[in-house]
């Protein structure tokens, strides 16, 4: 499997920062796979290192190793890796000085929205804001979800407006509005936005939606795999920063940071994550049943209707990036 350079140049989320902190405390690295490449992630003196998950000595998987103050240690013969994946010690030959040929290939590490982002290419990192961010908001990042479907399928499902009353029937408070209003897609550099209003509520199922309230939802899609959704609740703003790490053409890891006004009184982080996970499990069931497990951008075997305007625009952007399967 090979990916075009412009796909490699994007930054993708590979870990939740709180999971990296917890692993480091336990003396462990994290593992991730990005575009088919296995990665190890570890911290040394506050610096995050993202590197190839393969020891240059005999090919051991480094994410099975241990993390200490000196960095990451390979479990097989104890080679030690420090800042930027530099090999600093061969225990069998402590006197050997020039260890450069044992250095790991490392990648950039950027922290944003509670996630760690990296790139296998040479592109720049563009900070994608949540939109309105203020002191009176809280960030809650749900645990990552492994998805047996492509990043394109996951992100396309997130921007799909006509699935809400069907897939989330038992999760949202009011899923009776089935006909979708028309909406317009507006392009910007690297993506597009759209918004619509409807009576389709977004409170948890046991919380009644106010009568006649128009729920406004505004989406910003950043190619290839970020989709940000602002939901204007009656008592504040709730923003989902949906993003996916493309593991392979048929697998992704789904990240789901949420930022919301405290005026929404959504309870503890645990309460917020419990609701997020319920919504995510609704979507996961569908996205893992879709066939094929990726969007086939060379075929017109999937027909579209008016409410699919966003997904049609999304497919066009992915195609323009040179993707064949997304
Ligand atoms: S395989 Fe890693 S130290 Fe030998
Ligand atoms: Fe959904």
The domain segmentation of the chain, as residue ranges, is 5-118, 137-320
Per-residue tokens: 216: 């406004």
- Cα 285 to averaged position of ligand 1 atoms, centre (Å): 40
Q: Is 284 in the pocket of ligand 1 (CB under 6 A)?
A: no
- Cα 84 to averaged position of ligand 1 atoms, centre (Å): 18
Q: How sure is the predictor about 324, in pLDDT bands with cuts at 50, 70 and 90?
A: very high
Residue nearest to atom 4 of ligand 1 (CA): 77
Q: How sure is the predictor about 318, in pLDDT bands with cuts at 50, 70 and 90?
A: very high
Which-ligand-closest: CA of 62?
Answer: 1
265/191: higher pLDDT: 191
- Cα 200 to averaged position of ligand 2 atoms, centre (Å): 13
Give 5-118's CATH code, choosing from 1.10.357.10, 2.102.10.10, 2.40.160.20, 3.30.470.20. Answer: 2.102.10.10
Q: How sure is the predictor about 174, in pLDDT bands with cuts at 50, 70 and 90?
A: low
- Cα 23 to averaged position of ligand 1 atoms, centre (Å): 21
What is the pLDDT, as a whole number, of residue 163? 94
% of the chain exceeding 70 in pLDDT = 98
What is the pLDDT, as a whole number, of residue 228? 98
What is the pLDDT, as a whole number, of residue 209? 80
Is 137-320 a domain of CATH 3.90.380.10?
yes
Backbone dihedral region for residue 223 (phi beyond 0: left; psi -120 to 50: alpha; all else: beta): beta
| CA-to-CA dists, residue 228 to 88, 220, 297, angstroms | 42, 5, 23
Q: Which of 143-152, 165-174, 217-226 has the lowest mean pLDDT?
A: 165-174
Q: Which atom of ligand 1 is least distant from the CA of 55? A: 2
What is the pLDDT, as a whole number, of residue 260? 96
Residue 210 pLDDT more than 90? Answer: no
Q: Is 91 in the pocket of ligand 1 (CB under 6 A)?
A: no
| Sheet hosting strand 80-81, strand order edge to edge | 66-68, 71-73, 80-81, 87-89
Residue nearest to atom 1 of ligand 1 (CA): 58
Q: Is 79 in the pocket of ligand 1 (CB under 6 A)?
A: yes
Residue 1 pLDDT more than 90? Answer: no
Max CA pair span of the chain: 76
Q: For strand 251-261 and strand 191-198, is the pairing parallel, antiparallel, or unpaired? A: unpaired
Residues 260/266, Cβ–Cβ less than 8 Å: yes
Compute φ and ψ for 8, nearest 5 degrees.
Answer: -65, -30
Q: Which of 26-35, 170-179, 290-299 has the lowest mean pLDDT?
A: 170-179
Q: Is 76 in the pocket of ligand 1 (CB under 6 A)?
A: yes
């Amino acid at each position: 499997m090979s990916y075009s350079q412009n796909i490699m140049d994007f930054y993708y989320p590979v870990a939740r920062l709180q999971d990296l902190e917890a692993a480091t405390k336990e003396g462990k690295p994290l593992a991730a796979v990005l575009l088919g490449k296995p990665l190890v992630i570890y911290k040394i003196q506050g610096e995050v290192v993202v590197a190839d998950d393969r020891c240059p000595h005999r090919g051991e998987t480094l994410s099975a190793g241990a993390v200490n103050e000196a960095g990451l240690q390979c479990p097989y013969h104890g080679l030690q890796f420090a800042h930027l994946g530099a090999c600093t010690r061969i225990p069998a030959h402590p006197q050997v000085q020039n260890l450069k040929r044992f250095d790991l290939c490392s990648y950039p590490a950027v922290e944003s929205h509670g996630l760690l982002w990296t790139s296998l290419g040479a592109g720049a990192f563009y900070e994608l804001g949540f939109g309105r961010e203020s002191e009176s908001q809280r960030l809650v990042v749900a645990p990552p979800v492994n998805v047996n479907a492509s990043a394109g399928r996951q992100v396309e499902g997130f921007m799909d407006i006509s699935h809400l009353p069907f897939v989330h029937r038992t999760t949202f408070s009011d899923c009776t509005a089935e006909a979708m209003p028309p909406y317009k897609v507006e392009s910007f550099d690297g993506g597009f936005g759209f918004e619509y209003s409807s009576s389709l509520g977004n409170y948890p199922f046991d919380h009644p939606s106010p009568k006649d309230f128009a729920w406004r939802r505004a989406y910003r899609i950043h190619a290839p795999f970020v989709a940000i959704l602002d939901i204007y609740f009656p008592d504040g703003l709730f923003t989902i920063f949906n993003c996916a790490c493309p593991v392979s053409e048929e697998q992704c890891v789904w990240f789901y940071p949420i930022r919301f006004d405290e005026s929404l009184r959504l309870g503890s982080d645990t309460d917020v994550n419990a609701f997020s996970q319920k919504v995510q499990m609704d979507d996961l069931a569908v996205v893992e049943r879709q066939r094929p497990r990726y969007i086939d951008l060379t075929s017109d075997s999937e027909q579209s209707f008016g409410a699919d305007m966003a997904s049609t625009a999304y497919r066009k952007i992915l195609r323009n990036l040179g993707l064949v399967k997304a």
